[in-house]
Structure 1
Amino acid sequence: MIKAMVLETPIGPLALLEHDGALIGGGFTADPGELHVRLHPSLRALELTATGDLGDLSKAHLAYFDGDLTALDTVPVHQPGSPRRERLLAALRAVRPGETVTYGELAARAGLERAARAAGQACAQNLVAPVVPCHRVLPAAGGKGLKRFGGYYYGPERKEWLLSHEATTR
């Protein structure tokens, strides 16, 4: 069984999915089902059940949005994938609040030189936002306006907010 709840945050609803004490889904949506259908097939087969609270997982997210930028560091996560993808997501989780990296830098941190595209794919497939902080990855080319933030599944405005929150809360 997968337990699901929706947490209200300063940038909109955040759906959280938990299984066996680990966060398996987190995303800025009011519909946990949107995350459920994107899960790894081994998890997607499990029933989704709504709950009002996920205990420590909920508290950690609330603390993060209240300014404790390290509150998400101890949240257990589970995202099944290839060893390469798991290495990239582990390297991504090690990017500290207030810090940003490029896709190439993320690949290098994972020991996968010249795998910037794979780093981009791992970010695109990340289902545990903001705990696995794909919002901290920026394109090397930069850009103007919101384009300087690059892609983010939940929109560049949310990515900008998260980066600003982490920069000003430090």
Structure 2
Amino acid sequence: MRRRLAREIAVQSLYQMEMNAVDGRTAVDTVMEEARHENEIEADVRELDAAESFTRELVNGVESRLSEIDRMLETYLTGWQVDRLSRVDLQILRLAAFELQYGKEAPPKVVVNEAIELAKHFGTEESGKFVNGVLGRMIREGGVRTEPSDKPDETTTNSEGPTP
């Protein structure tokens, strides 16, 4: 649950960074504060604290490699350009591309499943399928890290599953 929460907060932070032209630290602090306020009854504060470190790692990683990630995404977007994507779908794809290429925490299948769930939660009806298609193509065409992950991720498997 902590990693899913961290990814949700990371997507919200990346969105806020883009829409409000703020730096990653400010965005994460703001979204974390909002998450604490919104979830104070439902979520254990310790869970939010544990998610914060992973959230910062994700946001800082995407922020530091933004141009590189966008160039990588352009390669796998068929008939689309990065600047024409929905801002929500773009942040989800950026986050997943970062994890697929540079992350060591989760296997590609988990990253794709999590991205699909984020797209369904934050995006439109078609977002999950779109994100699945782009990330599936990235995996099929070798746009991900090649070394295996050494740590399992805490997640549930999506019944739809990623495109291999």
With normalisation by structure 2, the TM-score equals 0.28
Higher relative contact order (CA 8 A, sep 6+): 2
Q: TM-score w.r.t. structure 1 length?
A: 0.27
Which structure: greater helix fraction?
2
Structure 1 or 2: more strand by fraction:
1
